[in-house]
Amino acid sequence: MFTEEEFEAAARRHMDGIFRLALNYMGSFSEAEDVTQNVLIRLYKARRPFESPEHLRYWLVRVTINESKRMLLSPWRRTESLELLEDRAALPEENRGLFKAVMELPDKYRVPIYLYYYEGYSTEELAKLLKIPGSTVRTRLRRGRERLKESLGGAENV
Amino acid sequence: MFDRDKYVDCFSRLRAPKDTLEKVRRRLGGHRLWNISRTGLIAAALVPLFVLTAMAAGLSGVFTRTLEEGEKLEGSMSVSSGNGSREEKNVSIDGASLCLSFDIQGECKKVYFRPGWLPGEEHPSYTDEEGYSNIIYGTEGNKGDILCSVTVYTGEKLKDMNYFFFGETRLLVQDEWLDWQRLEVEQSLTAGEGENRKNNFLLLFSPKHSYLLVIAGEEAAGTDMEDLERVAKELEINVTDKPTIAVKQKTDFANIGLAWG
């Protein structure tokens, strides 16, 4: 069980990561914000010990995935156009093309790419996290990369 | 070839909104505790004790979201099919500006109120022993401008429901006030023939008893926010022991407005 200070420290350390993963699932800043809040509330109420920082991080990723999937199934959704997403991301010019291309990908490609390339999970760990076979993870990573290359016009170093 | 560095650089720039943690505190019903601990008025050693108390009490919370311009609300709604039956339809709502949702904890009880003071020189007499769940009155024999409307929403009506305001809205105040979480909302609507109508709303959510009071009046009737606050201060609230009946909401969202029913 967290103390108040431990909760705040953990929330501040992990909320950007939770938000990014949720954004990859939801494709909406508003909904990613909702998911982030829900996950932090679950963390606050979690009456369980975490064995290590890695255990906590893994638990948060798992809860974020579950919370995102739950919200995706909800009939209540808040849609955001790609233009609005780009505005809200407020990225520098050099990042915008890649961000747009990534957000145009279906979430089944976007999420493994995020967890693999940003969070650094292995394909075996991703298979456990996403509850899909390792071969499917590798296929989705490959297809996601191919789609990114196509949408960016085969630009070098996509 | 996939350039991991470019990808990481791009996504590392995306951050959760700065007020995320504050919103979490508010939803946990600990907004007051948060303010107190932040200002250093309470010893750090006591904070966990207060948090435990708040959690044990199962306090509820209200959550606000201001919609982006052009953002649509999408969900399902139960509508009449014309032959007396109703069906679920997907609906997209344009023009909403402020959205409220609630984290409801614990059992929901029936709640009534009885007004002690109301705006306007003349108003109906509300003397029912048990109290009321809704009142509304106005000028010109209740056909003109609305002087005051008071409605209580029990926790059952707030669960899994998203309430929204149409038109231009300004969230003027969001704080703790008396025993409530208070929201003051100014709404501007364009009615027929371009006529602009302004409504004032005072929303009071009880984290302890999980009900929402919506007190509202039209500016054209002369009702301002101070009037609404006075109505609230002099309300007699009757939180009964009667549990409300749990019902599955037929819609995902509902409008908060001010109109003759």
Residue written as token pair 């029913």? B261
Residue of A nearest to B66 (CA): A30
- Any CB–CB contact under 8 A between A72 and chain B? no
- Tokens 């103390």 found at: A3
Q: Which among B213, B217, B214, B98 has a CA at the least distance from the CA of B164?
A: B98
Which of A15, A148, A158 minimises the CB distance to B20? A15
C-beta of residue A22 within 8 angstroms of C-beta of residue A64: yes
State yes or no: pLDDT of A33 exceeds 50.
Answer: yes
**Confidence class for position A75, pLDDT limits 50, 70, 90:** low
- Position B83 scores a pLDDT of 72
Return phi, psi of residue B78, to 5°.
-85, 120
B74 interfaces chain A, CB cutoff of 8 Å? yes
The whole-chain average pLDDT of chain B stands at 80
Residue A66 C-alpha, separation from nearest chain B C-alpha, in angstroms: 18
Q: Which of A74, A136, A141, A139 is nearest to A110 (CA)?
A: A141
Considering CB atoms only, which of A15, A77, A88 is closest to B21?
A15
Least confident of B32-41, B96-105, B187-196, B217-226: B32-41
- Is the Cβ of A85 closer than 8 Å to some Cβ of chain B? no
A108 to chain B, any CB pair closer than 8 A? The answer is no
CB-CB under 8 Å, A3 with B70: no
Question: What is the rounded CA–CA span in Å between residue A27 and residue B51?
Answer: 34
One-letter amino acid identity for B150? V
Predicted pLDDT of residue B29: 63
User: Smallest Cβ distance to A15: which of B11, B13, B16?
Assistant: B16
Buried b (16+ CB within 10 A) or exposed e, A5-36: eebbebbeebbbbbbbbbbbbbbbbbbbbbbb
Supply the pTM of this predicted model. Answer: 0.51
Q: What angle do helix axes A29-45 and B20-27 make, rounded to 10 degrees? A: 60
**Which residues lie below 8 Å from residue A34, measured CB to CB, with a gap of 6+?**
A71, B65
Q: Whole-angstrom Cα distance, residue B101 to residue B46?
A: 30
pLDDT at A121 over 80: yes
Q: Can you tell me the distance from the alpha carbon of A56 to that of A10, in angstroms, rounded to the nearest whole number?
A: 9
pLDDT of residue B116: 93
In tens, the pLDDT along B45-104 reads 333 333 333 334 445 678 888 887 788 888 776 666 667 676 777 778 888 889 898 888
Q: How confident is the model at residue A49 (pLDDT cuts 50, 70, 90)?
A: confident
- What is the tens place of the pLDDT at every residue in A82-107? 888 888 888 888 888 899 999 999 99
What's the CA gap between B216 and B136, in Å, rounded?
9
Task: Please tell me the least confidently modeled range out of A111-125, B42-56, B180-194, B204-218.
Answer: B42-56
Enter the ipTM.
0.88
Residue in chain B nearest A156 by alpha carbon: B1
Using the predicted structure, report yes or no on whether residue A28 has a pLDDT greater than 70. Answer: yes
pLDDT of res. A72: 83
Per DSSP bridges, beta strands B146-153 and B211-218 are antiparallel
**Residue B56, min C-alpha distance to chain A (Å):** 11
User: Of all residues in chain B, what percent carry a pLDDT higher than 70?
Assistant: 80
